[in-house]
Structure 1
Amino acid sequence: MNPSYQLLLILISALEITFTKKLLPNLIIIIITILYLMYKNLPARTWWWILAAPIIPGLAILVTIGWFGSHNIMYAWILVSRIYVYILTGTAIVKTHSTLTLTRSLEQNLHLPPKYAYGVLAALNLIPKTIENVQKIKQAATMRGVILNYWSPQLYFKAILTAIHWSDELAQAMESHGFNEVQSRTVSHAIAVKTSDWWLLIGGLIILQLLLIFCPV
């Protein structure tokens, strides 16, 4: 399925689920997404994170609503199931398409401005360099007898100053390579929208409406 249309389907589904109070549609979506991720051979470590990480906020919701709030256990379970729906569906699109492919698809199919593509791609490419720079700042401070922890404001202030310097270098590099924010961006690989993408999007939304309307709980 086209990445843009898959993301659009997930966003619309998440928005509708947010404003409905039914548990069964959430469970059906969770089961379908789990089967899809099993088909995509999701690593065991990723399974552990997406299934174990929501346990803490889920328990907090159950305790808050079930014992100290409205005492509505069914509504508490609905909220917990929403957390798993959001995490699993988000993991599904990331597992299916790389972030770079998703960014290019959104730009081409939804006609987003070139600034969007440039900004996202620059941010993604600078993530490893930013992590490395933070480690260098901590090591340099340690050599001077100063301990910078991850909650130290000085650490982030120095990292922000470095990022500002990088932004100026990146702008000069883009201009020297002929990038122009007011011109349409050329692509090496066009991500086409097929008829099947439309059918999958419309069919998925229709199935979701049927679940939300006819499921008893």
Structure 2
Amino acid sequence: MNPGLKLFLILIISLEISLIPNLIANIIIIVASLSYLAFKHLSLKKLLLIFLIPLFAALVVFITIYYFTPGHSLYQASVLFTRIYAYIFLGATFTETTSVLALARSLEQNFKLPSKFTYGTLAAFNVIPKIHAEVNRIRLVGDMRHYHLSFYSPILYFKAILAAISWSNSLAEGMISHGYREDKARSIIVPITLTKKDWLIFSSILILLQPILFFIK
């Protein structure tokens, strides 16, 4: 499925389940997402991590709603519990099967996102490992000087911001030197198609979901 259209589909479904409390719909979304991830050969380790990471938060929400609200509604507690997992697994169906590069190209080519936002997004994602390495380097230098910088230290983030500003200037100069111009049309090296099949899948999933959301409780 087209990456950009897949993103919009997930956002629409997430918005609908946030507005409509429906336990059956949440369970169906979770099962469908799990089936899709299994079809895409996602490893069992990753599936377990996706399940375990939000478990504490989901249990806290369930206990809070069931034990500490006047109604003690098991249904509402279950809805909120499964809704968290529906969000998580919907997100996983996108993040585990779609690359950031493909999404950026799709948004630029198929949905007319300005190229400056496309390349800015790609630059931000690609610089994340470098930021992580820089933060570790700053903390190591601090330790060598017997000055420990904790993760909440303002000095740590101030130094990291200064480094990021320097990288942004270097990145802008590099893009200009490679011929990038914001106001000029760019050639397409890897085309991302948006076909009738993509629209058919998109509309079919939404159409099938509506009766479940509104009529099946």
- TM-score normalized by the length of structure 1: 0.95
Gaps of 5+ in 2: none
RMSD value, Cα: 1.2
Q: Specify the code of the residue in structure 1 equivalent to 2:49.
A: W
User: Once the 2 structures are TM-superposed, how far is the Cα of residue 181 of structure 1 from its aligned partner?
Assistant: 1.5
Mapping for residues 62-211 of structure 1, pairs under 5 Å: 62-69=62-69, 70-211=71-212
Cα distance in 1 for partners of 2:185, 2:126 equals: 21
Cα distance in 2 for partners of 1:146, 1:116 equals: 39
User: Once the 2 structures are TM-superposed, how far is the Cα of residue 83 of structure 1 from its aligned partner?
Assistant: 0.8
User: Once the 2 structures are TM-superposed, how far is the Cα of residue 145 of structure 1 from its aligned partner?
Assistant: 1.1
User: Once the 2 structures are TM-superposed, how far is the Cα of residue 125 of structure 1 from its aligned partner?
Assistant: 1.3
**Alignment deviations for residues 87-118 of structure 1 (CA, whole Å, 9 cap, x no partner):** 11111112221111111111111110111111
Q: Equivalent residue of 2:188, what SS?
A: coil
Q: Specify the code of the residue in structure 2 equivalent to 1:125.
A: N
User: Once the 2 structures are TM-superposed, how far is the Cα of residue 27 of structure 1 from its aligned partner?
Assistant: 0.5
User: Once the 2 structures are TM-superposed, how far is the Cα of residue 183 of structure 1 from its aligned partner?
Assistant: 2.2
Cα distance in 2 for partners of 1:62, 1:96 equals: 30
Cα distance in 2 for partners of 1:187, 1:79 equals: 44
Deviation >4 Å, runs of 4+: none
**Alignment deviations for residues 157-177 of structure 1 (CA, whole Å, 9 cap, x no partner):** 100010011111111111111
Q: Equivalent residue of 2:186, what SS?
A: coil
Q: Specify the code of the residue in structure 2 equivalent to 1:165.
A: S
Q: Specify the code of the residue in structure 1 equivalent to 2:25.
A: P
The match for 1:20 is 20
Q: How many residues align?
A: 216
Gaps of 5+ in 1: none
8 Å Cα contact 1:114-1:184 kept in structure 2? no
Q: Equivalent residue of 2:13, what SS?
A: helix
- TM-score normalized by the length of structure 2: 0.95
Q: Specify the code of the residue in structure 1 equivalent to 2:193.
A: A
Q: Specify the code of the residue in structure 2 equivalent to 1:210.
A: P
Q: Equivalent residue of 2:96, what SS?
A: helix
User: Once the 2 structures are TM-superposed, how far is the Cα of residue 121 of structure 1 from its aligned partner?
Assistant: 0.8
Cα distance in 1 for partners of 2:100, 2:44 equals: 21
**Alignment deviations for residues 172-211 of structure 1 (CA, whole Å, 9 cap, x no partner):** 1111111112223332111011110111011111001121
Q: Specify the code of the residue in structure 2 equivalent to 1:76.
A: A
Q: Specify the code of the residue in structure 2 equivalent to 1:18.
A: S
